[in-house]
Amino acid sequence: MATAQFDRSSGILLHPTSLPNSGGIGTLGKEAYDFIDFLVTAKQSLWQICPLGPTGYGDSPYQCFSAYAGNPYLIDLEELRKQGLLTSLELEPLKKLPTNFVDFGALIPLKMNILLKAYGRFLGIFRKSDTACRVKKAQFEHFQKKEAYWLDDYSLFMVLKDQFGGESWDKWPQEYRTRDVSTLEGVRKEKTREIGFHEFLQFIFFGQWRALRNYANTHGVKIIGDMPIFIAYDSADSWSRPEVFLFDSQGRPTHVAGVPPDYFSATGQLWGNPLYNWDYLEKTGFRWWIDVLKNKLTFYDYLRIDHFRGFSAYWKITYGETTAINGEWVTAPGKKLFAAVKGELGNPPIIAEDLGVITPDVKELIEYCDFPGMKILQFAFDSGEDNDHLPHTAVPNSLMYTGTHDNNTIHGWFAQAPEQDKEMARRYLKIQRTSNLHWDFVQGVMASVSVFAITPVQDLLGLGPEARFNFPGTLGKNWTWRMKKSALTANLGRRLADLTELYGRF
């Protein structure tokens, strides 16, 4: 049964980068607040997002420069303009960027240059003596001290990445790669302003995020956050804490993460993330994991952990392999980890992404943790295998989705599905018109026994494969989709609200 903190409800999956505005990327600004207002009107209680970290190679929110930091590209510049840190003229270059997709290559240098100007003005307030300026300075200094346990290494890491032309840290000169104490102290003294810039970005990001989440919570909307089980190799975490990972003496991975051939890829998925040194983690009482989870749970109401099965066993691939085919399953101490987590954090509101190759040991771990898992309605009609993704066969302690950020849209899936799968979907969901089938799928997840029903906004809007957010195992054009400004209409909200009431999710 679902635990008490998971009450029967429903919501929408929409990553903030996909929100509409004229600034080249969705932000934590007005459009995010408007989206929450739509959720309230549509009687939705949940907003699910992808990870909010600073994106690196491939612009994936699942490959971030830090397990802790926020993505500065999501900062609302209009709010900084209102605070006097920017001018309207300085925001003009971003208005020339496309509005129907995120052009990361053009966006990043433009936005970072604008944020640098805001930082210069922010430093100016430190020289003023009025009360408002003193308060702002005190807030910033409090943030620096409170978050120093991750912020110090992250800010230094980002400054060094800039210094070495964006190169991955394993390509830096040895004294920087191996964190020579005197070398790093020299950088801290010489580049105080540059380090402060990255601290400023985090201060602004988390200030805006807290305000947005507070607005959601006070309007009855809870946030489902997300985190990848593995961190990116090119990250402040792997650079500053190499002992946590399976690295050789030069700081390079001996083995990397991925998954074997599956629904998404015939050669598996070679993620390339470093694997954990579970022996070290267990000896230290899983301190690293407990600290990360404690941090994440302060920013979200619920936390989905991607690839949860990796806590039971993970796919271990020798570094240098070109595909994920030649790997092996290796056991991980998941029960010991979550016993330690629960011992310190109580019963955390964690959601286990339990898709893919799910073996009895994985099911045993999830039952031991009593975390809700995931069901995908698209998978329910796969005639090639038995599954428990049908609305009536799912367990209550689960989340039912029409699809996830990795799936094709409903209309895209249906167009490509084998005829026998289409026929089963037609019979089960009583589909009358193909043009309207996304509503049949939405109604299917709403009617399910699962405690949460989640619909990606692309499916709510009935969009085709052009709106797919990510195609696993590929690079290019992923994570770029954006919603049109006028997409979420009042009629759409009313129709969703009616279904929500009908199936007891409000």
The residue from 306, 354, 421, 440 that is catalytic is 306
- Residue 151 Rama label (left phi>0; alpha psi -120 to 50; beta): alpha
Neighbours of 416 (CB within 10 A): 10
7 is catalytic: no
Contacts of 359 (CB under 8 A, 6+ apart): 309, 312, 313
Q: Is 129 exposed, middle or buried (0-12, 13-18, 19+ CB in 10 A)?
A: exposed
Encoded tokens for 105: 């290559």
User: For residues 506 and 495, what is the distance between their CA atoms, to the nearest angstrom?
Assistant: 14
Residue of 406, 421, 440, 459 with catalytic role: 406
How far apart (Å, rounded) are the C-alpha atoms in residues 413 and 402? 11
Query: Looking at 353, 354, 440, 459, which residue is catalytic?
Result: 353
d(CA 376, CA 398) in angstroms, rounded, equals: 10
Closest listed residue to residue 51, CA positions, set 405, 496, 460: 405
Of 118, 112, 79, 82, the residue nearest 94 (C-alpha): 112
CB-based contacts of 329, cutoff 8 Å, min separation 6: 313, 314, 315, 316
In DSSP terms, which residues pair with 64 in a beta bridge? 55
Question: Is 170 one of the catalytic residues?
Answer: no
Whose tokens are 């992808």? That residue is 50
Residue type, 79: E
Q: Would residue 386 show up in a list of annotated catalytic residues for this protein? A: no
Give the residue numbers annotated as catalytic, written as ranges: 306, 353, 406
